[in-house]
């Protein structure tokens, strides 16, 4: 069942006097398991909702509506389906012991994959679960494959069901569903010949596999070498070459390059970031594929709008250690147009350890310590990717506290460097009684 979380004013649900907290048990006699079921089942014009209101009264609601008319019901958030794996590279195992509660959630939920683009392994879905995806046309999905070799995938995920991945994908694709796929590359596990095999076998499944992104494994001081190690420079370069081998063929046959190396692979390999054409229509930017190119191109396109700013005589750009060379390349352009000093402040991540070099995982405490003394006339720019929707850093420190501890400097956080400098982004968007019958 689902509970009603919101009701639209003036909607059908409002007219029926449904209440927040009401449980919806069945729609047209079919059991409602979650919000996906609810939206799927309520697509009909004629509806019968079997509900229980917050006082425990059982109420049947009969609805006849125009197809364009919304019910006005927003279900509460579903309970997240958790992961059944014990991956050898699991990011949860890399958490500090005192990490906040939400960081320990091992989600592997196809509903989040469908609605938000998070990657799932499909190991917690049996035949009935896979059939549900087909029946409800839940597509596209984002699937962490890691390896198509069944025995290897079982070892990587530590789950006997992991070896079924090609069979599961074939079932989805044969039914007309589409998937984006991912490999988290672990040296001496699924790289080299195994990566070649994975690329070859996923491509052979046909155009329903929309993409393959190859992402280097990320490890912290808490799980480094237990048992996976980080990629070395030469290994990252080899992986880039392997992903490149299929791209020309894919463009000829499918009209897109299909296989993409993540930004971090280029950073580890010490190679320049590809031009925008590499990324086609940017389908995987949220997976770290093309975000760096976007940052570079957006800065180049927008830097001409910068101008001196009253009261600012020094701009300090906070970032992770891997991004420092790129931002240092921006510094002269900012300094020339704003007529002030510009300093890039690389912050070493002590919370997770120095192996974590990306700006998006910088904790507030390390940022405060890394920036050090602030002075009047400073404008400190923080990476918006390091904040959640509540404007809290990964170590639990809120942006307001970081800002207060950097006084008297001005502090801004944002995703676009030029927009943040122009102060157009002050921060990240906070991202049982008896039965009865009612009719509408």
pLDDT in tens, 329-344: 999 999 999 999 999 9
Grade residue 347 by pLDDT with cuts at 50, 70 and 90.
very high
Query: Is the bond into 408 cis (omega within 30 degrees of 0)?
Result: yes
Element (H, E) at 235: helix 233-244
pLDDT beyond 60 at 439? no
| Phi and psi angles of residue 380, each rounded to the nearest 5 degrees, phi first | -100, 125
Count of CB atoms within 10 A of residue 208's CB?
17
Grouping H, G, I as helix, E, B as strand and the rest as coil, residue 422 is coil
The whole-number pLDDT of residue 432 equals 33
Q: In sequence order, what are the beta bridge partners of 320?
A: 347
Q: Could you give the percent of the chain with pLDDT greater than 70?
A: 96
Q: In sequence order, what are the beta bridge partners of 209?
A: 179
Dihedral over Cα of 147, 148, 151, 157: its sign:
positive
Mean pLDDT value across residues 24-35: 95
Q: Could you give the percent of the chain with pLDDT greater than 90?
A: 86
CA distances for 99 relative to 189, 400, 432, angstroms: 28, 20, 41
Per-residue b or e along 293-326, where b marks 16 or more CB atoms closer than 10 Å to that residue's CB: bbbbeebeeebeebeebeebebbbbbbbbbbbeb
Report the range out of 100-104, 283-287, 338-342 with the highest average pLDDT.
Answer: 338-342
pTM, entire model: 0.88
In whole angstroms, give the CA distance from residue 284 to residue 264: 14
Domains of the chain, first to last:
2-75 (2.30.42.10), 91-289 (3.80.30), 306-421 (3.40.50)
The whole-number pLDDT of residue 427 equals 37
What does DSSP assign to residue 331? Answer: H
pLDDT in tens, 44-76: 999 999 999 999 999 999 999 998 899 999 999
In whole angstroms, give the CA distance from residue 86 to residue 90: 7
pLDDT beyond 60 at 31? yes
pLDDT in tens, 227-262: 999 999 999 999 999 999 999 999 999 999 999 999
Q: What is the DSSP string of 241-272?
A: HHHHTTHHHHHHHHSS--EEE-HHHHHHHT-P
In whole angstroms, give the CA distance from residue 64 to residue 45: 6
The whole-number pLDDT of residue 431 equals 31
Residue with tokens 């596209």: 140
The whole-number pLDDT of residue 285 equals 87
Mean pLDDT, the chain, whole residue set? 93
pLDDT in tens, 144-198: 999 999 999 999 999 999 999 999 999 999 999 999 999 999 999 999 999 999 9
The whole-number pLDDT of residue 429 equals 35
Q: In sequence order, what are the beta bridge partners of 318?
A: 345
Q: How many residues does the chain have?
A: 440
Grouping H, G, I as helix, E, B as strand and the rest as coil, residue 203 is helix
Grade residue 350 by pLDDT with cuts at 50, 70 and 90.
very high
Which ranges constitute the DSSP H helices of 42-164? 110-116, 127-135, 150-157
Grade residue 112 by pLDDT with cuts at 50, 70 and 90.
confident
CA distances for 331 relative to 300, 392, 402, angstroms: 12, 27, 23
The whole-number pLDDT of residue 282 equals 87
């Amino acid at each position: 069942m689902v509970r009603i979380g919101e009701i639209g004013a003036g909607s059908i649900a409002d007219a029926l006097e449904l209440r927040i907290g009401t449980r919806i048990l069945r729609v047209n006699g079919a059991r409602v398991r979650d919000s996906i079921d609810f939206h799927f089942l309520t697509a009909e014009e004629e509806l019968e909702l079997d509900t229980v209101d917050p006082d425990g009264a059982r109420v049947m609601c009969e609805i006849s509506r125009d197809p364009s008319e919304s019910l006005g019901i927003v279900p509460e958030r579903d309970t997240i389906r958790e992961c059944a794996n014990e991956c050898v590279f699991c990011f949860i195992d890399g958490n500090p012991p005192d990490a906040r509660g939400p960081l320990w959630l091992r989600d592997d939920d196809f509903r989040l994959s469908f609605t938000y683009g998070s990657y799932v392994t499909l190991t917690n879905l049996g035949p009935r679960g896979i059939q549900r995806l087909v029946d409800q046309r839940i597509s596209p999905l984002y699937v962490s494959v890691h390896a198509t070799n069944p025995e290897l995938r079982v070892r990587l995920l530590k789950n006997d069901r992991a070896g079924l991945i090609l069979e599961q994908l074939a079932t989805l694709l044969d039914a007309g569903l589409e998937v984006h796929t991912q490999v988290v590359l672990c040296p001496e596990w699924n790289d080299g010949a195994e990566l070649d095999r994975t690329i070859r076998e996923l491509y052979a499944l046909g155009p329903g596999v929309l993409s393959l992104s190859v992402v280097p494994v990320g490890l912290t001081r808490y799980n480094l070498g237990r048992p996976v190690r980080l990629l070395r420079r030469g290994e990252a370069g080899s992986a880039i070459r392997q992903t490149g081998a299929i791209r020309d063929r894919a463009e000829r046959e499918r009209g897109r390059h299909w296989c993409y190396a993540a930004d971090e692979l280029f950073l580890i390999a010490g190679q320049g970031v590809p031009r925008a054409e590499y990324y086609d229509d940017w389908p995987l930017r949220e997976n770290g594929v093309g975000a760096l190119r976007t940052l570079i191109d957006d800065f180049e396109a927008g830097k001409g709008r910068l101008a001196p700013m009253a009261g600012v005589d020094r701009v300090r750009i906070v970032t992770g250690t891997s991004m420092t060379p790129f931002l240092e390349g921006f510094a002269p352009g900012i300094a020339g147009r704003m007529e002030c000093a510009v300093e890039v402040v690389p912050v070493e991540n002590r919370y997770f350890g120095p192996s974590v070099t990306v700006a998006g995982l910088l904790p507030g405490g390390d940022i405060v310590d890394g920036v050090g003394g602030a002075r009047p006339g400073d404008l400190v720019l923080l990476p918006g990717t390091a904040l959640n929707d509540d404007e809290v850093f990964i170590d639990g420190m809120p942006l307001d506290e970081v800002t207060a501890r950097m006084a008297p400097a001005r502090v801004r956080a944002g995703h676009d460097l030029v927009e943040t400098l122009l102060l157009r982004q002050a921060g990240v968007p906070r991202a049982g009684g008896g039965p009865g019958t009612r009719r509408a």
